[in-house]
Amino acid sequence: MCTTAEENYLKAIFKLSYEQKNGVTTSSLAEHLATKASSVTDMVQKLADKELVNYIKYQGVTLTPKGEKIAIQLIRKHRLWELFLFQNLGFKWDEIHEIAEELEHIKSDLLVERLDQFLNYPLKDPHGDPIPDQEGNFPKNNSIPLSRLNTGTKGIVVGVNDKSSSFLIYLVKIGIQLGTEIEILEWHEFDHSVDVRINALTLIHLSYQSAQNILMSEKST
Amino acid sequence: MCTTAEENYLKAIFKLSYEQKNGVTTSSLAEHLATKASSVTDMVQKLADKELVNYIKYQGVTLTPKGEKIAIQLIRKHRLWELFLFQNLGFKWDEIHEIAEELEHIKSDLLVERLDQFLNYPLKDPHGDPIPDQEGNFPKNNSIPLSRLNTGTKGIVVGVNDKSSSFLIYLVKIGIQLGTEIEILEWHEFDHSVDVRINALTLIHLSYQSAQNILMSEKST
DNA sequence: TAATATATTTAGACACATCTAAATATATAT
DNA sequence: ATATATATTTAGATGTGTCTAAATATATTA
Ligand SMILES: [Mn+2]
Ligand SMILES: [Mn+2]
Ligand SMILES: [Mn+2]
Ligand SMILES: [Mn+2]
């Protein structure tokens, strides 16, 4: 069994290992978990003792299969709870992450399966992120950042990279949520910002950072 | 804010203060929480520093209004979660307590209110226990232990005192759950056990301990 | 390659929650 | 009332998870 702190470390290592292919660094973990590098070293050594991570001093850390399994189950629980909060309890897009951050640590395999069943075995959470199944398989999602769409193309918003409240609230304010149709009107070379049309109606301007964090369906038109 | 450990102590003090009117004793708390008397003393002193309990050495402990409010909110959360697990996720009578013991510590007032709304503002949990409202008021429940019913009277099972898995599983096995009608047939003087008829059909024998732990509606016939 | 900057680990400390063993207070019995 | 038993508190220790400051390794730059 893992403590809540250990679980949060495993989840963080899993997330960061997509950006850092040869070992997650101590400092990036410290930043992600809002803690100190020395605390990370301590914990990572403990996780290595438990054979949940591979760790060589100064070389960063990767998950063992055992550690990865736990991380994926946590993501599964997190996203199922988020969907429950969103769909059944009427929480907003930007209110669910923090609560799910606590709920994901409730220890009961049966609870997760029943929740999955109650929600009708969903494939995506309210942010458009894929929900892994019992075995840890992620459903395919072939989305690309809005920043990679060409002028003139249209697409549907299917997710976001940045799940911070501030970004999500901003998106709602400018009229963007899951399912919104967006047409690329014009890219601006100098700052990579873009003018778009929302739902064939409203014209708005998106910064490059926003464009990178909005995920669109690949339209094979 | 309280830690999970502090919250569990407050809840335990609240429960035990019905049996011990002038201060909950250190040893009874230790027993209830499956810990040592010395640990209880430590924690109780900390809770006194936080002004959540009144504590005088060797005199036992009582809740302050502030401490009582927290305890009642915990009971509210615990019972709402139990009902959710029972009604919506299909858990059995005896499976819900342990999971709710974890869920009750999730920190979000909005979550509790939304859950209450989702469950349609219920008055009782799956064990027949009253669910306090937002202000901490318990709905009246005028139940009496089966052990106090006279020969010939009938009643409906509306709750249980003992919520242990073993007792609940036993009740299900002998055909007793919430809503079951029980008729008192004959009391046995020597061991205070009783013969009863269940749902106007099955005859069974109950020990005095069982009779004390089954709560019946007061029938004003 | 040597000097400097940055990243990481180690050492030592602290708060929390628990324990065992010893000291002390309260209750009970002679 | 004194002795004995029981309940409670204190003292000292442990494990977890965190921190700051110091030591050491790796990366960068001259
Ligand atoms: Mn978490
Ligand atoms: Mn999400
Ligand atoms: Mn609890
Ligand atoms: Mn209950």
CATH label of the domain that carries residue A32 = 1.10.10.10
The CA distance from B162 to the nearest CA of chain A, in Å, is 23
Give residue-wise pLDDT tens across range B163-177.
888 999 999 999 999
Instruction: Please say if the pLDDT value at position A197 is more than 60.
Output: yes
A104 within a domain of the structure (yes/no): no
**Average pLDDT value for residue range B194-203:** 94
Q: Do B156 and B141 contact (CB within 8 A), yes or no?
A: no
Cβ contact (<8 Å) for B102 and A102? Answer: no
Q: Give the pLDDT confidence score for residue B215 in this predicted structure.
A: 95
Instruction: Decide which of A219 and A188 is more confident.
Output: A188
Residue A34 region, left (φ>0) first, then alpha (ψ -120 to 50), else beta? left
Q: Which nucleotides of D are covered by protein (CB under 7 A)?
A: 7-12, 16-22, 25-26
**Residue A121 forms contact with B (CB below 8 Å):** no
Q: Using a 7 A cutoff on CB, list residues near strand D.
A: A 3-6, 35-36, 38-39, 42-43, 46, 57-58; B 25-28, 37-38, 40-42, 44-45, 55, 57-60
A175 within a domain of the structure (yes/no): yes
Separation in Å, CA B170 to CA A215, B157, B158, B167, B176 = 54, 15, 17, 5, 9
Helices assigned H by DSSP within A151-205: 165-174
Name the domain boundary from B31, B63, B95: B63
Separation in Å, CA B189 to CA B9, B100, B116, B151 = 39, 39, 45, 12
The total of structural domains in chain B comes to: 2
Give residue-wise pLDDT tens across range B101-135.
999 999 999 999 999 999 999 999 999 999 999 99
- Residue numbers of the domain that contains A181: 144-218
Helix (H), strand (E) at residue B47: helix B37-49
User: Residue A221: which pLDDT band, with cuts at 50, 70 and 90?
Assistant: very low
CATH label of the domain that carries residue A178 = 2.30.30.90
Note if the pTM is more than 0.75.
Answer: yes
- Rounded CA-CA distance A187/A203 in Å is 13
B169 within a domain of the structure (yes/no): yes
Average pLDDT, chain B: 94
* Residue A41 CB in 7 A reach of strand C: yes
